[in-house]
Structure 1
Amino acid sequence: MQTIYETQINRLGSDVAAFLGEKMFILFGANAPSELADYCLLIDVNDINGEIEKGDTFVMGGQPYTITAVGDVVKKNLGSLGHITLKFDGAETADLPGTLHLEESDIQVPAAGTTIQIVKK
């Protein structure tokens, strides 16, 4: 397995849990606009070494999730701003260009310091 992306959650916005019912998290780098930062998992912006594709694995805190769909600008936005939406809904088609869809799963708010990775099969 090859890790194509790795980062860490540095800080949790105060309202991150607001999207748990929608099985959704928003990632953003440290430069998140203040009106959005409260809803985001704030991460380090790091380079992506390869393509992010359906079937790859998204790992958060050691828990793997299969990627089911990749929006058109996920790679660009994640690599430049650290900003994408994670939806744990199992969708086969990305509804928005900046959304990474993952296998349907119940989710919990991760702790600051949690590692995030995207791994090739």
Structure 2
Amino acid sequence: MPENMKTIYENKVKSIGSLANTFLEEKMFILFGTEAPQDLKDFCYNIDVVNADGEIQAGHKLYINNEKFEITSIGNLVQRNLTTLGHITLRFDGSTIPELPGTLYLENKEIPAIELGTELKIVNE
């Protein structure tokens, strides 16, 4: 990763719900902090709730481990939900208009395997 980039958000997958992979076929997956409601836990990749160091914006990059994805648009609740609940949906369809308030839209690329310890990082390059 370039040295002049600023890391805005950093986290790791702590646990994986039994049905979390269900949405990968639809080019999306769900993150939720450790306080996820029981009925949603199975569908989520669980992360710690951590603060962001700045505002997440279109054009920033999301790294899943070392694989880079451009952020194409951001629902208006993504920043708040991510930093208070650890809960957002990531959709890999390249949308430039955010249809859903809690969804982070990324370029249309294949999603890499997400496992325990997978690093998630949002950076401004």
Q: TM-score, normalised by structure 2?
A: 0.94
- 2:65 counterpart letter in structure 1: G
Q: Could you tell me how far apart the structure 2 residues matched to 1:108 and 1:15 are? A: 17
Deviations 1:10-31 (A, max 9, x none): 0011001110111011000000
- Would you identify which runs of 4 or more consecutive aligned residues in structure 1 move more than 6 Å? none
Match in the other structure for 1:83: 87
Instruction: State the percentage of identical aligned residues.
Output: 46
Q: Do 1:16 and 1:109's aligned partners in 2 also have CA atoms closer than 8 Å?
A: no
Give 1:80 shift: 0.3
Q: Which runs of 5+ in 2 are unaligned?
A: none
2:89 is equivalent to residue 98 of structure 1 = no
Give 1:61 shift: 1.3
Q: Could you tell me how far apart the structure 2 residues matched to 1:102 and 1:80 are? A: 21
Match in the other structure for 1:42: 46
- 1:117 counterpart letter in structure 2: K
Q: 2:32 aligns with which of 25, 28, 36?
A: 28
Q: Which runs of 5+ in 1 are unaligned?
A: none
Q: Do 1:46 and 1:82's aligned partners in 2 also have CA atoms closer than 8 Å?
A: yes
User: For this pair of structures, how many residues does the alignment match?
Assistant: 121
